[in-house]
Chains A and B, each alone.
Chain A
Amino acid sequence: MTMGALKTHPKVYWIWNHRRWCLENIPSGPAPAGEEDANGWKQAAWQKDLFVVEQMLNKDPRNFHAWDYRRYILSQIPKPPLPKTELAYTKAKIVSNFSNFSAWHQRSKILLSLWSSGNLDESKSKENEFKLITDAMYTDPHDQSVWIYHRWLVGNNSTRKVLEREISVISDLLAEQPDSKWCLESLVHYKRMLINSYKDAVDAQALTDECHALLLQLSEIDPMRSRRYKDIMSQLNNHDV
């Protein structure tokens, strides 16, 4: 039915929608021979679609219709795979290509649901994520996907210890890659967090001066966004007098 059309036009959204509509309307039907489950037909149909989506993502790992559809299948399938299976799937996608932001995105969503349901220990699993992302950073420091995910992982309520540790990891990388825009940008971000959240425990003046220097360097190597760096500089000034 729609499979042929999807292969030739994988980005035409209404084909996906038609497929969605068909699957939603599959009757529960009798159980297949030897099974007691009346959802057997549905399970088999969704399972087949999950396979189709995986084939599509092998060909085009960033196709967001396919990712959307994958999330949809996982929410509808009578017997969904364990969330940890999906976590492993995103990891396999990421390891084969660190630039696959769609997989990082999916991973963040799965982790959030595992943490909030208590199925995964948040602090332990965060440490594992930090290891994974540090590997990715060192593999390709120019890849913004990695840095966006890192920012999510650090979050808005990080402890001083985590902030200082990540600042030191990134500073080491910067020493190897002195022109890495993403190292510079991230250092400014995390140093500002230290200033804002732990004002009394850190040397705010020294951090502010460091941010200034980093922002000047950023304006030079990334002139397209120099106005943004200037804005941050003036926010630093207003904040610390």
Chain B
Amino acid sequence: MSIATLNIPLHVKYIQNLGKSDDELMYHLTAHLRLNAVYWGLAALCVMGHKEALDRGEMIDFVMSCWDDEAGGFGAHPDHDAHLLSTCSAIQILVMQDALDRLDIPRVVNFIASLQQPSGVFAGDSFGEIDTRFLYCAVNSLSLLGQLDKMDVGKAVEYIRHCRNFDGGFGSRIGAESHAAQVFVCVGSLAILDRLDVCDADTLSWWLSERQMDSGGLNGRPQKLEDVCYSFWVLSALSILNKLEYIDSDKLISFILSAQDPEGGGIADRPGDMVDVFHTCFGTAGLSLVGYPGLEDLDPVYCMPAKLIEKMGLRKGWKALERRSG
């Protein structure tokens, strides 16, 4: 079944209804991602030009209810321990809602900086799991707060350099296989830190272009299934490298559109599967980057509205495809 257009009103409604879900089981299953989910919902609404569809005051109150006062960071849910993933989402939401005045900036900066390891990478929390995703969360958050000088940038860049593989991609830690999501976090961090020279741009753009499958969808590494969320991981890195033309955007657009749920709204990982807010966010984000008509520009480095990032003076040299006319 092919669906020719993005059903914006239906997706907006889908996101609005997420907060009202009385499905107890799903509610508890996703508690460890709640704050991230609010960010995904808000980012998707911004891309679709309906930021106001979720109540600003309620959202800010929810974010602040996730503050872990002992640690000085945000948990994914009230009473959860602070983690770098949820702290990054909280800061992104507060920036998008122009509510940074609610934040104890020195404390949260201290929390983030304290998670940097001697190797340069960041741990997600005090349990010490390390991952280049956490490094990106730290770089993204500190940059939004204008506090990059509070981390050891040189060491972080060296860590990323050591994660680079011979295929041009990056893994989750030193020695790990290249994966498109890890490519996004490493390339995004390097872009924010103005150190894209660390990328082997030719090899990496080759590897990224080979993520596109015959269906038009993108996969995360060789010989794996295509998935809508890779539309963002692959496209963001390609647009930062200024090589977005290396994939067939028409075919990708039809793949993403075919993963919409035409009745309940939302976008799934691939056609026919259950929708969720994560894939709705990264599907619309991918559509925005390849110039799908009627969408707002998205900054691929921060995965936030481009206008906002530009106003903050943080825009880097990425290039998206020109917005098509309806």
Hey, which bits of chain B sit against chain A, CB under 8 A? 127-129, 165-167, 172-173, 175-179, 205-207, 209-210, 212, 221-224, 243, 245-248, 251
Contact = CB atoms under 8 A, between A and B. Distances in A.
B209 A99 contact: no
B209 A64 contact: no
Contact of A145 (B179, B222, B251): B222
B255 to A, nearest CB: 12
Contacts of B210: 144, 225
A83 to B, nearest CB: 13
Contacts of B127: 17, 21
Given A21-B128, A144-B222, A145-B222, A225 B175 contact: no
Given A21-B127, A99-B223, 5 more contacts: A13-B129, A148-B166, A151-B166, A151-B167, A225-B209
A190 interface: no
A14 B248 CA distance: 36
Interface residues on A, range: 20 to 34
18 contacts: A64-B221, A67-B177, A68-B173, A71-B175, A101-B177, A105-B165, A105-B178, A108-B166, A144-B210, A144-B223, A151-B166, A225-B209, A225-B210, A225-B248, A227-B246, A228-B206, A228-B243, A228-B245
Interface string A83-113: 0000000000000000101100110110000
Interface of A: 13-14, 17, 20-21, 62, 64, 67-68, 71, 99, 101-102, 105-106, 108-109, 143-145, 148, 151-152, 223-225, 227-228, 231
Main secondary structure of the interface of B (DSSP, over half): loop
A68 to B, nearest CB: 5
B224 to A, nearest CB: 7
Contacts of A227: 245-246
Contacts of A21: 127-128
B221 A224 contact: no
Given A17-B127, A144-B222, A152-B166, A225 B177 contact: no
Contacts of B221: 62, 64, 101
A86 to B, nearest CB: 12
Q: Which 8 A-B pairs have the closest CB atoms?
A: A224-B248, A227-B245, A152-B166, A17-B129, A105-B177, A228-B246, A101-B222, A99-B223
Q: Which one of A143, A145, A152, A225 has the greatest number of beta carbons of chain B within 10 Å?
A: A225
Nearest to A14: B129
Contacts of A99: 222-223
